[in-house]
């Protein structure tokens, strides 16, 4: 276990460094800058803004300053960033993502701290919808294999996989906002505001989970120990709940890491459609506004979350199936 975690920590550091480096240089390779969309400003003011955010430095120097933790501002010497308040930010190595170029009264850390809980709430509701609908449909489809219920659930799952979440969102808005007025169309503030966007975001993942659950359950239900349990006279419900489900959902557990990552990245569109002030909305705005630091901060955040969730999934796998061992080397 310790060797596995140490190896994952090493690859985590390498992965984050690669993401930071590639994102940093790709973002600055795109034509335009963070102040191009502002109203026409005096050349001297634009020069001062560029100097404030070190955009007049060579790229290699901007990169080192962004990483931190040393302040490379020659006018103040090579001192620890943040120690005298002279540096714009301390660098990502000390957990400081810097000031936002567009929201100039806020740092990237402030924006993430305000918006991340909202995105987590939306993601939690979406994942709950995905697990509730997906597991139920997959188990029912496997138990009633070949029946009309199985055919209908498989058709629904195929449709859910084929439709992107923004199309599902539009259908839900038409149905539950305009036809049957049950939920608000947009905004944030209560659980009712999360019901529709959560369903729209989790619906396609519920379809994948249903397919995986059905496949896993069919494989488990054909195992010898399941037939032995039936031969011993155990009620079918008890065999299903106590013996079959635990092994049948293993494919779903392995999918939860990528699914959670997909829910996080998929929330970008859903948050814009339903006007939810989450991290995804800020990420889209940062890309449109060339807000380098905000876009980088959200990218790094998503990388950390995805990597951590995949590691947790690997650990959960060994809990559900003790026969699986983590590689130590």
What pLDDT, on a 0 to 100 scale, did the predictor assign at position 17?
92
Distance of CA 191 to the CA centre of its chain: 20
Signed CA dihedral, 73, 77, 78, 82: sign only: negative
Number of Cβ within a 10 Å radius of residue 85: 7
Stated length of the chain: 329
Q: Of 37-46, 219-228, 283-292, 293-302, give the range with the top mean pLDDT.
A: 293-302
Q: Which two tokens stand for residue 151?
A: 């055919």
Helix intervals (H) in the chain: 2-29, 43-52, 59-67, 108-143, 148-162, 165-173, 192-221, 224-231, 236-239, 245-248, 250-273, 279-289, 292-320
The CA distances from residue 146 to 15, 55, 206, 208, 214, in Å, are 45, 64, 21, 19, 12
The domain made up of 108-320 has a fold known as MetI-like fold (1.10.3720)
Q: How far apart are CA 286 and CA 270, in angstroms?
A: 16
Q: What is the pLDDT of residues 36-76, one digit of tens each?
A: 655 566 667 667 767 777 777 788 888 888 887 666 665 54
Dihedral angle computed from the Cα positions of residues 242, 247, 249 and 250, in that order, rounded to the nearest 10 degrees: 150
Q: Decide if 259 contacts 127 (C-beta within 8 A).
A: yes
Q: Decide if 132 contacts 199 (C-beta within 8 A).
A: no
- β-pair partners for 80: 70
For the whole model, what pTM was predicted? 0.74
| Of 257 and 211, more confident | 211
DSSP per-residue string spanning 208-243? HHHHHHHHHHHHHHTSHHHHHHHHTT--HHHHIIII
* Percent of the chain whose pLDDT exceeds 90: 10
What pLDDT, on a 0 to 100 scale, did the predictor assign at position 90?
64
Residues of the chain within CATH 1.10.3720.10 domain(s) are 108-320
Give the three-class secondary structure for 176: helix
Number of Cβ within a 10 Å radius of residue 51: 12
Give the three-class secondary structure for 98: coil
Q: What is the pLDDT of residues 122-165, one digit of tens each?
A: 988 999 999 999 999 988 888 888 888 889 999 998 888 888 88
């Amino acid at each position: 276990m310790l060797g596995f975690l140490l190896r994952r920590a090493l690859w985590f550091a390498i992965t984050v460094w690669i993401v930071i480096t590639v994102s940093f240089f790709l973002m600055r390779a795109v034509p335009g800058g963070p102040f191009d969309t502002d109203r026409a400003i005096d050349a001297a003011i634009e020069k001062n803004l560029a100097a404030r955010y070190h955009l007049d430095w060579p790229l290699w120097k901007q990169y080192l300053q962004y990483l931190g933790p040393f302040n490379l501002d020659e006018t103040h010497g090579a001192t620890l960033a943040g120690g005298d308040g002279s540096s714009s930010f301390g660098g990502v190595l000390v957990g400081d993502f810097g000031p936002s170029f567009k929201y100039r009264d806020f740092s990237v850390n402030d924006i993430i701290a305000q918006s991340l809980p909202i995105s987590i709430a939306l993601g939690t509701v979406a994942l709950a919808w995905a697990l509730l609908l997906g597991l139920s449909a997959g188990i029912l489809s496997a138990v009633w294999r070949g029946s009309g219920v199985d055919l209908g659930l498989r058709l629904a799952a195929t449709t859910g996989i084929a439709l992107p979440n923004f199309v599902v969102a539009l259908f839900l808005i038409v149905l539950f906002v305009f036809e049957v007025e049950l939920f608000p169309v947009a905004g944030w503030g209560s659980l009712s505001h999360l019901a529709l966007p959560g369903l729209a975001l989790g619906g396609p993942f519920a379809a994948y989970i249903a397919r995986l659950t059905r496949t896993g359950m069919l494989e488990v239900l054909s195992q010898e120990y399941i037939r032995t349990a039936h031969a011993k006279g155990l009620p079918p419900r008890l065999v299903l709940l106590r013996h079959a489900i635990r092994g049948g959902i293993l494919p779903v557990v392995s999918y939860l890491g990528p699914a959670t990552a997909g829910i996080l990245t998929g929330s970008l569109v859903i948050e814009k459609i339903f006007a939810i002030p989450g991290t995804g909305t800020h990420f889209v705005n940062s890309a449109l506004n060339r807000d380098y630091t905000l876009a980088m901060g959200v990218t790094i955040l998503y990388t950390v979350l995805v990597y951590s969730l995949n590691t947790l999934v690997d650990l959960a796998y060994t809990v559900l199936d003790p026969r699986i061992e983590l590689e130590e080397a």
